[in-house]
């Protein structure tokens, strides 16, 4: 089928009506509006009845309804109901954040439900525009559309939550105003080129960093959007929240008392996304501050209401490196049993993982010792370390084994720590800490280490002298590795006592 408008479908079910093809990147609403223009129907109700068998279904600008009827009337020419909902509306980007129950209810409502219940169901229609997915369009795309085929269409990707930049023209998308939406609700099927200039919200001037932030959020939206029912990945509210909380704790925003510190967290979020609050749809960022944390607090606490996907996307882009990293973290949290998860969350919030990491990685303690020190079970400590990506098991523990005895023996001999570390395969930091914790041993080691070093210098110096008989000391001192300077600094008494003749050379 040609997407430029030829190749119309003739469907017997619709009494011989000709249907324009549905573009691959177009919303169903957009297609209905184009059909309405071509049909020359005077009234949108007529169009709606023709296509959906219902006078209002055609007017939904965001999530389509009465899809079963449409599929029947179009003989499945555009695919099944689920396909249309995911592929030709913003639904696929909202779906992941609805949870299993609501996803089922909304999907059913799109097939055959009350046309005005969906927004209410999602609990996201607090904005004055009256829809969680306001109409958006790129001015340059619309101009191109009109030039090439007289009408502009609404593009699915531009309607997704968080989408504010046209990927092709790299400009901000215009958002239709409340009055444009109310015109759409009042029985008018509108397309981008039909809106008056004052029916678009004002566009802020944005700097490069804001454009970058917008592209990052849009990238997250596209990455998590389900383009088909099979692809849909439903996040449960509680699992999602725990995943956020754990990541926030890992990033260091947990206080010692187990509470998250929203103030510094929000401060960093607002500075990372500075300027974004001026972009329509992102005004909520400005309220993210203080101990309650605005939307961040709502997403991370046991907050009863559902939050708009764009808030999730922003937090995700802030907390996680990549969608893959987030999905892995989510899976890990979602598979934890409830009791285990609660313990883990408490431990993590208290920043214990960080302390464990320090003990094991920097101080060379065994997991057992570190867990003991922090008053947690070895199993939990092991899990925390695994999740934090700390390679604790690569070196076998030292304390309490024969290797500890060997370490001590070598230290008593005054061996160099790097040599001990490499020959016994222990960390240098372990030796440092081992000595720091044992002052007596440290003194023995220091003395013995000094003596051995001194003996080596003495020998080196005597050898140099023997190899250069009769050479004046001034010249000896210029020979490589003569050892004189070290002895002069550290062992002068020996020089004076044992080599009195030296000074006259
Ligand atoms: Zn564009």
DSSP-assigned letters across all residues of 224-288: H--SSTTT--PPPHHHHHHHHHHHHHHTT-B-TTS-B-HHHHHHHHHHHTTTGGGSTT-GGGGG-
Centroid of ligand 1 to alpha carbon of 180 (angstroms)? 20
Centroid of ligand 1 to alpha carbon of 464 (angstroms)? 81
Centroid of ligand 1 to alpha carbon of 158 (angstroms)? 9
Centroid of ligand 1 to alpha carbon of 172 (angstroms)? 9
- So what's the pLDDT on residue 244? 92
Centroid of ligand 1 to alpha carbon of 156 (angstroms)? 12
Cβ pair 491, 457 in contact under 8 A: yes
Centroid of ligand 1 to alpha carbon of 153 (angstroms)? 11
Centroid of ligand 1 to alpha carbon of 217 (angstroms)? 18
- How would you label 414-436 residue by residue, b for 16+ Cβ within 10 Å and e otherwise? bbebeebbeebebbeebbebbbe
Centroid of ligand 1 to alpha carbon of 285 (angstroms)? 26
Centroid of ligand 1 to alpha carbon of 171 (angstroms)? 7
Convert the pLDDT of each residue in 356-415 to its tens digit. Answer: 788 888 777 888 888 777 766 677 678 778 777 777 754 556 777 888 899 999 999 999
Centroid of ligand 1 to alpha carbon of 170 (angstroms)? 7
Centroid of ligand 1 to alpha carbon of 218 (angstroms)? 14
Centroid of ligand 1 to alpha carbon of 150 (angstroms)? 16
Centroid of ligand 1 to alpha carbon of 4 (angstroms)? 18
Q: Is 176 exposed, middle or buried (0-12, 13-18, 19+ CB in 10 A)?
A: buried
Centroid of ligand 1 to alpha carbon of 169 (angstroms)? 5
Centroid of ligand 1 to alpha carbon of 78 (angstroms)? 25
- So what's the pLDDT on residue 251? 80
Convert the pLDDT of each residue in 15-67 to its tens digit. Answer: 556 788 999 999 999 999 999 998 888 899 999 999 999 998 999 999 999 99
Kindly give the confidence (pLDDT) of every residue in the chain, 505 residues in length, as a single tens digit, with 9 standing for 90 and above: 444 333 566 655 555 567 889 999 999 999 999 999 988 888 999 999 999 999 989 999 999 999 999 999 888 889 999 999 999 999 999 999 988 888 999 999 999 976 667 777 776 655 566 788 899 999 999 999 999 989 999 999 999 999 999 989 999 999 999 999 999 988 899 999 999 999 999 998 889 999 999 999 999 999 999 888 788 889 988 899 999 988 888 887 776 556 777 888 898 899 999 999 999 889 889 888 777 788 888 888 877 678 889 999 999 999 999 999 999 999 999 988 877 887 777 776 667 777 778 888 877 788 888 877 776 667 767 877 877 777 775 455 677 788 889 999 999 999 998 888 888 878 788 888 889 889 999 999 999 999 999 999 888 888 888 888 878 878 887 877 778 888 888 888 888 887 766 666 5
Across-strand partners of 19? 9
Centroid of ligand 1 to alpha carbon of 175 (angstroms)? 13
Centroid of ligand 1 to alpha carbon of 70 (angstroms)? 30
Centroid of ligand 1 to alpha carbon of 30 (angstroms)? 16
Helix or strand run (H / E) with residue 174 = strand 174-175
Cβ pair 24, 154 in contact under 8 A: no
Centroid of ligand 1 to alpha carbon of 61 (angstroms)? 20
- So what's the pLDDT on residue 418? 86
pTM listed for this prediction: 0.67
- So what's the pLDDT on residue 128? 67
Centroid of ligand 1 to alpha carbon of 141 (angstroms)? 4
Centroid of ligand 1 to alpha carbon of 139 (angstroms)? 6
Centroid of ligand 1 to alpha carbon of 166 (angstroms)? 5
Per-domain residue ranges of the chain = 9-122, 136-218, 237-349, 352-387, 395-437, 441-505
Centroid of ligand 1 to alpha carbon of 440 (angstroms)? 75
The neighbourhood of ligand 1, an ion, using CB within 5 A, equals 138, 140-141, 166, 168-169
Centroid of ligand 1 to alpha carbon of 152 (angstroms)? 11
- So what's the pLDDT on residue 407? 92
Centroid of ligand 1 to alpha carbon of 162 (angstroms)? 16
DSSP state of 26: B
Distances (CA, A) of 53 to 70, 71, 110: 8, 11, 14
Distances (CA, A) of 345 to 117, 324, 352: 37, 22, 10
- So what's the pLDDT on residue 5? 39
Centroid of ligand 1 to alpha carbon of 421 (angstroms)? 61
Centroid of ligand 1 to alpha carbon of 201 (angstroms)? 17
Centroid of ligand 1 to alpha carbon of 214 (angstroms)? 15
Cβ pair 45, 34 in contact under 8 A: no
Centroid of ligand 1 to alpha carbon of 163 (angstroms)? 12
DSSP state of 60: -
């Amino acid at each position: 089928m040609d997407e430029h408008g030829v190749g119309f479908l003739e469907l017997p079910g619709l009494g011989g009506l000709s249907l324009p093809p549905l573009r691959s990147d177009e919303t169903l609403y957009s297609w209905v509006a184009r059909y309405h223009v071509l049909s020359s129907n005077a009234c949108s109700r007529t169009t709606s009845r023709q296509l959906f068998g219902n006078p209002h279904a055609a007017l939904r600008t965001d999530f389509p309804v009465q899809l079963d009827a449409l599929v029947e009337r179009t003989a499945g020419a555009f695919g099944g109901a689920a396909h249309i909902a995911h592929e030709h509306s913003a639904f696929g980007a909202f779906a992941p954040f609805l949870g299993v129950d609501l996803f089922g209810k909304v999907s059913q409502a799109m097939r055959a439900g009350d046309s005005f219940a969906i927004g209410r169901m999602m609990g996201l229609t607090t904005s004055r525009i009256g829809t969680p997915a306001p109409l958006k369009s790129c001015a340059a795309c619309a101009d191109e559309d009109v030039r090439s085929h007289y009408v502009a269409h609404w593009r699915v990707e531009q309607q997704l939550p968080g989408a504010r930049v046209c990927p092709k023209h790299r400009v901000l998308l215009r958002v239709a105003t409340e009055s444009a939406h109310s015109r759409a609700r009042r029985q008018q099927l509108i397309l981008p080129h039909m809106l008056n200039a004052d029916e678009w919200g004002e566009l802020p001037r944005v700097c490069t960093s804001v454009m970058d932030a917008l592209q990052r959020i849009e990238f997250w939206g596209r990455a998590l959007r389900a383009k088909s029912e099979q692809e849909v990945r439903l996040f449960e509210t509680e699992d999602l929240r725990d995943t956020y909380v754990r990541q926030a704790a890992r990033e260091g925003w947990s206080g010692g008392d187990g509470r998250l510190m929203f103030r510094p967290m929000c401060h960093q979020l607002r500075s990372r996304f500075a300027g974004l609050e001026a972009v329509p749809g992102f005004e909520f960022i400005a309220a993210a501050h203080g101990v309650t944390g605005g939307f961040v607090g709502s997403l991370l606490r046991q907050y009863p209401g559902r939050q708009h996907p764009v808030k999730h996307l922003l937090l995700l882009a802030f907390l996680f490196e990549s969608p893959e990293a987030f999905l892995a973290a989510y899976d890990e949290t979602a598979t934890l049993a409830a009791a285990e998860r609660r313990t883990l969350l408490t431990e993590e919030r208290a920043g214990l993982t960080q302390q464990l990491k320090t003990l094991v990685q920097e101080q060379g303690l065994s997991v057992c010792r570190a867990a003991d020190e922090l008053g947690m079970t070895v199993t939990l400590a092991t899990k925390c370390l695994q999740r934090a990506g700390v390679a604790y098991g690569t070196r076998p523990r030292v304390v309490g084994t024969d290797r500890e005895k060997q370490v001590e023996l070598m230290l008593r001999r005054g061996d160099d720590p790097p040599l001990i570390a490499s020959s016994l395969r222990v960390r240098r930091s372990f030796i440092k800490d081992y000595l720091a914790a044992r002052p007596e041993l440290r003194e023995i080691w220091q003395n013995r280490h000094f003596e051995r070093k001194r003996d080596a210098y003495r020998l080196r110096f005597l050898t140099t002298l023997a190899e250069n008989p009769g050479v004046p000391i001034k010249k000896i001192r210029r020979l490589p590795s003569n050892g004189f300077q070290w002895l002069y600094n550290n062992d002068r008494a020996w020089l004076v006592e044992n080599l009195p003749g030296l000074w006259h050379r």
